[in-house]
Structure 1
């Protein structure tokens, strides 16, 4: 499954906002995100899993 992230005007991939909720991430990334409450925010998911970014978290889960 290829995940397509949106890009900024300069071509860099946009960072996900820290307040993005688990339920939204599950819709986009499926089971690549660690299970949690659907209202848990990305910034807390990253902190709990020792990751600095969504990309790093996804690589850890592969």
Structure 2
């Protein structure tokens, strides 16, 4: 059985925590992080687009910055 990881994600066999895929849509992320996630972006926008436009290297960095 896999061990729980950060933010409800799971660790891979090698112990690494899987990251969100760049093609994950903002609408899906809003279900997990709240309706105020990525304000100003449509729900069908890809995470990779938001990260590029916000100049954030990762989802976790974007979440930390928005707090």
Tell me which interval the TM-score lies in, with the shorter structure as reference length.
0.7 to 0.9
**TM-score normalized by the length of structure 2:** 0.78
- Superposed CA RMSD in Å reads 1.8
Corresponding pairs, count: 61
2:53 is the counterpart of 1:48: yes
**1:1-62 alignment to 2 at 5 Å?**
3-31=7-35, 33-35=37-39, 36-62=41-67
For CA contacts below 8 A with separation 6 or more, give which structure has more relative contact order. Answer: 1
Deviation at 1:13, TM superposition (A): 1.4
Larger radius of gyration: 2
Query: Equivalents in 1 of 2:24, 2:50: separation in Å?
Result: 10
| Residue ranges of structure 1 left out of the alignment (5+ in a row) | none
* Runs of 4+ more than 2 Å apart: none
